[in-house]
Structure 1
Amino acid sequence: MTVEILTREDLAAFKAELFQELRELINFNAPTIQPKKWIKTYEVREMLGLSPGTLQNMRVNGTLSFTRIGGLIYYDYDDILKLMEGNQKPVKRS
């Protein structure tokens, strides 16, 4: 029986090669997630962590535009992103 000795350099090379292969697999298999153009009320509430009343107030005062079709209310995903980006606060550095 032959004994092979592994060095730290061998392990480091193996680690680098393994991580590279994993990155390639993840990038190859990862589906490009395309968000839906129109999202429903419950999805907006979950996404932003809002109560039903708060979301209704945002509709009423014009903070967030919406489209009503029958009894369903839809929101434009891009409008939600713009709202989020517009309310970003600068980081205070001390």
Structure 2
Amino acid sequence: MAIEIITKDDLEAFRKTLLLDIRLLLSEKQQDNKEWLRCADVRKMLKISTGTVQNLRISGKLKSQKVGGIHFYKLADVQNMLGGKIH
């Protein structure tokens, strides 16, 4: 029977690999479950200001649903805006 010795370096490499795998799984899950976005998410995706998000909403170019005073935007609508120009 062969004896294998695990070193601290082996454990550290395993830890790093495991953490990376967990991060990837969590980020995929968060992205998949996000059907509705808040203003901050829309701003980051489209690289625009809060005022521009408001103008898009007021002009009807970006529809929203208001829940408890907070506007939520459909992810699909925001992704459609990424394909076109924003003015």
User: 1:43 aligned to 2:41?
Assistant: yes
Structure whose CA Rg is larger: 1
What is the alpha-carbon distance in structure 1 between the residues aligned to residue 49 and residue 33 of structure 2? 22
Which runs of 5 or more residues in structure 1 are unaligned?
1-24, 89-94
- For residue 35 of structure 1, report the CA deviation from its aligned partner: 4.9
Aligned to 1:68: 66
Greater per-residue helix proportion: 2
- The answer to whether the 8 A contact 1:38-1:75 is kept is yes
TM-score, normalised with respect to structure 1: 0.55
TM-score, normalised with respect to structure 2: 0.59
RMSD of equivalent CA atoms: 1.9
Aligned to 1:56: 54
Which runs of 5 or more residues in structure 2 are unaligned?
1-16
Letter of the 2:47 partner, please give it. G
Determine which of 72, 75, 78 is the counterpart of 2:76. Answer: 78
Equivalent pairs counted in the alignment come to: 60
